[in-house]
């Protein structure tokens, strides 16, 4: 739990597959305050696809990329279940002091809903992260922060004692809550809740894609990514928005990724964008696209991470961003 960000990676935390260093960066080693001369430092921010859920530290694309490029170190600051607003705030907290030459801002398909969500359980029946988070709103075309509403254990104890009071308070700034539950309190009866979940799922299909430019989450998400790019540049690094595909059936059928309207708007605004759909084709083309995924939550397998690392090494080389000197010239 983190009072400002909602949750984050625990410094020196570890599990069977994951290990973080004393700075809360997913790594088996510590890093100096600044990269050594001639060493390209790449920092990565994003959600579970950036963090590398369901694979070991040595199998993440960051670790593999560090081995693919000569004199390169990659810092993994991804956090499971993060929305783009949290990634921006984590960059603000950690990014400017890292001395990175290149910063990848990871983006996966579900990030759009997370951008307008405050309490994770409002998104669906999974309570993997039953925590609250901050979010940004657009007011007069400017991003305004809505701080994390539950910042301490005492706040969560109040939620447990008074759910009918606290949940609507959380829902005041949660677009998903407003669409699902209206002005009513969060329904406690399972039968009522299931009915609302089914109705919401149907309504989403009827109203069309959340990636339609008219959806309120679209402009907010674009503005967050744009702001992140601007702040990365202000820190002296080159921002690259990195899109992680999840719909492998669409890739195999050569259909555009669901998030393509968002990626194209960033390109139109002259931001650097890497869409890993192109890397995925090498797996999808084998007739077994799910080899790129692993486990309950559909994250990339170790083989998928190797494909990502090889593709990014090639992309950085082709775009003359594979050395510190080249990155400085490209700023």
Identify the pLDDT of residue 234. Answer: 97
pLDDT band at residue 98 under the 50/70/90 scheme: very high
pLDDT band at 130 (very low <50, low <70, confident <90, very high): confident
Q: Which of 23-32, 37-46, 258-267, 293-302 is least confident?
A: 293-302
Q: Which residues contact 140 (CB under 8 A, 6 or more apart)?
A: none
Least confident of 71-80, 157-166, 200-209: 200-209
Q: What is the pLDDT of residue 192?
A: 46
**Looking at residues 290-299, what average pLDDT do you find?**
69
Tokens of 68: 């693919």
Question: Where exactly are the structural domains of the chain?
Answer: 1-331
The pLDDT score that the predictor gives to residue 150 is 97
Task: Compute the residue count for the chain.
Answer: 331
**pTM of structure:** 0.88
pLDDT band of residue 200 (cuts 50, 70, 90) is: very low
Number of continuous H segments (helices) and E segments (strands) in the chain: 14, 9
* The predicted structure's pLDDT at residue 181: 61
Please give the residue that has the higher pLDDT: either 41 or 187.
41
Task: Name the packing angle between helices 302-318 and 61-68 (round to 10°).
Answer: 40
d(CA 302, CA 252): 20
* Enclosing H/E stretch for 233: helix 216-234
The tens digit of pLDDT for each residue in 204-250 reads: 443 446 677 778 899 999 999 999 999 999 999 999 999 998 766 66
pLDDT at 161 > cutoff 50? yes
The pLDDT of residue 249: 60
Please write the tens of the pLDDT for every residue from 53-65.
999 999 999 999 9
Q: pLDDT band for position 286 (50/70/90)?
A: low
For residue 247, the model assigns a pLDDT of 67
| Per-residue pLDDT band at 16 (split at 50, 70, 90) | confident
Spatial distance between the Cα atoms of 33 and 97, rounded to a whole number of angstroms: 8
Average pLDDT, the chain: 86
CB 82 within 8 A of CB 114: yes
Spatial separation of the C-alpha atoms in residues 331 and 235, rounded to whole Å: 11
For residue 298, pLDDT over 90 is answered with no
CATH second-level architecture of 1-331?
3-Layer(aba) Sandwich (3.40)
């Amino acid at each position: 739990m983190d009072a400002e960000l909602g949750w984050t990676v625990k410094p020196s935390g570890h599990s069977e597959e994951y290990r973080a260093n004393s700075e809360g960066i997913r790594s088996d080693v510590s890093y100096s305050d600044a990269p050594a001369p001639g060493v390209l430092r790449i920092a990565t921010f994003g959600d579970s696809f950036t963090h590398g859920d369901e694979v070991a530290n040595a199998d993440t694309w960051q670790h593999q990329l560090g081995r693919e490029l000569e004199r390169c170190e990659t810092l993994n600051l991804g956090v499971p279940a993060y929305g783009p607003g949290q990634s921006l705030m984590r960059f603000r907290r950690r990014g400017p002091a890292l001395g990175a030459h290149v910063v990848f801002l990871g983006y996966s398909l579900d990030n759009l809903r997370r951008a307008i969500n405050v309490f994770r359980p409002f998104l669906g029946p999974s309570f993997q992260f039953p925590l609250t988070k901050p979010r940004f709103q657009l007011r007069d075309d400017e991003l305004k922060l809505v701080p994390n509403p539950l910042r301490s254990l005492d706040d969560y104890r109040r939620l447990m004692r008074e759910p009918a009071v606290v949940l609507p308070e959380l829902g005041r700034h949660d677009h998903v809550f407003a669409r699902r539950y209206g002005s009513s309190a969060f329904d406690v009866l399972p039968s009522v809740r299931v009915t609302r979940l089914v109705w919401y799922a149907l309504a989403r299909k009827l109203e069309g894609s959340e990636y339609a430019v008219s959806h309120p989450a679209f402009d907010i998400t674009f503005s967050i990514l744009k702001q992140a790019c601007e702040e990365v540049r202000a820190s002296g690094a080159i921002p690259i928005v990195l899109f992680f595909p999840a719909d492998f059936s669409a890739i195999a059928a050569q259909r555009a990724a669901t998030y393509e309207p968002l990626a194209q708007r960033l390109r139109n605004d002259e931001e650097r964008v890497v869409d890993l759909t192109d890397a995925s084709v090498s797996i999808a083309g084998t007739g077994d696209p799910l080899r790129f995924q692993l486990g309950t939550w559909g994250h990339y397998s170790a083989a998928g991470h190797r494909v990502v690392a090889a593709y990014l090494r090639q992309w950085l080389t082709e775009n003359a961003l594979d050395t510190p000197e080249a990155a400085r010239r490209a700023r």
